[in-house]
């Protein structure tokens, strides 16, 4: 069913550089959450802190009730088994074929026989659409296939939580669409808790239950997708609309007067529009052939309702 991750008052700095401070959020069990943020706001550092690879200065990260920040190395090892991580480049071993790459965690962390391993590896390769590529080396396949191989490897230990570090980076829009569908299908099939770090706004609009945004060393917002997508918070709106006008600058933050001028020029000041008047992108649903658990049935019903309301309003 996936487990909840409860983050409270988390602060991380490297030397004098504060990366983010006082971050509190709960990733609900079994749900899909996305973390957005301009480059360098510490999204990868956040993922690493969740799995205990980096120690925060303050705060707690409770996974299945245990505080990752307080655990000793051998206890951390146990908690890490709950996690599957998809790294940016798939993090595959270049000299091993896909089969051996995907089998690696099973051979390292379990005492399963080779025939049991074969069954699991082929099942996960099937889930990510890689059957037939078992003998290929990572260097012989496309970036999209490498991501899917990394995902299959993240799945072999049946994780309760999957962390995706920019799964869409380096992929063309069509491959990103396939990968998003795969993520949604997987969530319906394995029911784990997902956290996706991404820059891709289209994905953030369609895929998750919850969205968070890191900016100016803080978690600006974290909450249900609808709340973020209809938010009037200038940072959230600038980021979700991928615009230059707003508080986020190229290399540093802009001063308040400049932001005010830019938003006024856009006719987009806080007073210039009714709150919550942003369009809601339809939610991506599990594809045909995927059995939907009750959670996804409820999401599909809600989407159908919203769509009926939109048609009636038009």
Please tell me whether residue 122 adopts helix, strand or coil conformation: helix
Tokens encoding 215: 């900016």
Give least dist CB 111 to ligand ATP, A: 34
Of the candidates 173, 171, 117, 124, the residue with the CA atom closest to the CA atom of residue 151: 124
Give least dist CB 181 to ligand ATP, A: 23
- The burial of 295, by beta-carbon neighbours within 10 Å (0-12 exposed, 13-18 middle, 19 or more buried), is given as middle
According to CB under 6 A, which one of 27, 43, 192, 208 is a site residue for ligand ATP? 43
Range 89-128, binding ligand ATP (CB under 6 A): none
Neighbours of 203 (CB within 10 A): 21
Residue 53 makes contact with ligand ATP by CB under 6 A: no
Give least dist CB 83 to ligand ATP, A: 17
Give least dist CB 17 to ligand ATP, A: 7
Alpha-carbon gap, residue 158 to 160, rounded angstroms: 7
Residue 203 makes contact with ligand ATP by CB under 6 A: no
DSSP conformation letters of 215-245: ETTEEEEEEEHHHHHT---HHHHHHHHT-SS
Range 1-40, binding ligand ATP (CB under 6 A): 14, 19, 37, 39-40
Q: How many residues bind ligand ATP (CB under 6 A)?
A: 10
Distances in Å between the alpha carbon of 149 and those of 36, 154, 247? 24, 9, 38
Residue 286 makes contact with ligand ATP by CB under 6 A: no
Candidate segments 41-49, 77-85, 180-188, 224-232, binder of ligand ATP by CB under 6 A: 41-49
Give least dist CB 152 to ligand ATP, A: 23
Please tell me whether residue 211 adopts helix, strand or coil conformation: strand
Candidate segments 43-51, 134-142, 153-161, 289-297, binder of ligand ATP by CB under 6 A: 43-51
Contacts with ligand ATP by CB under 6 A lie at 14, 19, 37, 39-45
């Amino acid at each position: 069913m996936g487990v909840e991750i409860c983050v409270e008052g988390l602060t991380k700095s490297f030397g004098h550089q504060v990366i983010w401070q006082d971050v509190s959020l709960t990733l609900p069990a079994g749900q899909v959450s996305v973390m957005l943020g301009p480059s360098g706001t510490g999204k990868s550092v956040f993922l690493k802190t969740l799995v205990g690879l980096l120690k925060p200065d303050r705060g707690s990260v409770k996974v299945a009730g245990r505080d990752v920040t307080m655990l000793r190395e051998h206890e951390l090892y146990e908690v890490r088994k709950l996690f599957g991580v998809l790294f940016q480049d798939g993090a595959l071993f270049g000299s091993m074929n896909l089969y051996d790459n995907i089998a690696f965690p099973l051979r390292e962390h379990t005492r399963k026989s080779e025939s049991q391993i074969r069954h699991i590896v082929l099942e996960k390769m099937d889930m990510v659409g890689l059957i037939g590529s078992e003998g290929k080396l990572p260097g012989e396949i496309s970036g999209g296939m490498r991501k899917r191989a990394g995902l299959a490897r993240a799945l072999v230990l049946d994780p309760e939580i999957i962390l995706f570090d920019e799964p869409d980076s380096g992929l063309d829009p069509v491959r990103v669409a396939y990968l998003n569908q795969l993520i949604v299908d997987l969530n319906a099939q394995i029911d784990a808790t997902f956290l996706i770090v991404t820059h891709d706004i289209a994905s953030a609009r369609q895929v998750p239950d919850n969205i968070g945004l890191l900016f100016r060393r803080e978690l600006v917002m974290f909450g249900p997708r609808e709340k973020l997508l209809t938010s009037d918070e200038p940072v959230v709106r600038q980021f979700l609309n991928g615009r230059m006008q707003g508080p986020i600058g190229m290399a540093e933050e802009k001063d308040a007067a400049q932001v005010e001028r830019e938003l006024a020029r856009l006719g987009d000041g806080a007073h210039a529009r009714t709150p919550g008047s942003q369009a809601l992108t339809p939610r991506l649903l599990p594809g045909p052939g995927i059995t939907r658990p009750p959670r996804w049935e409820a999401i599909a019903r809600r989407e159908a309702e919203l769509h009926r309301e939109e048609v009636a309003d038009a």
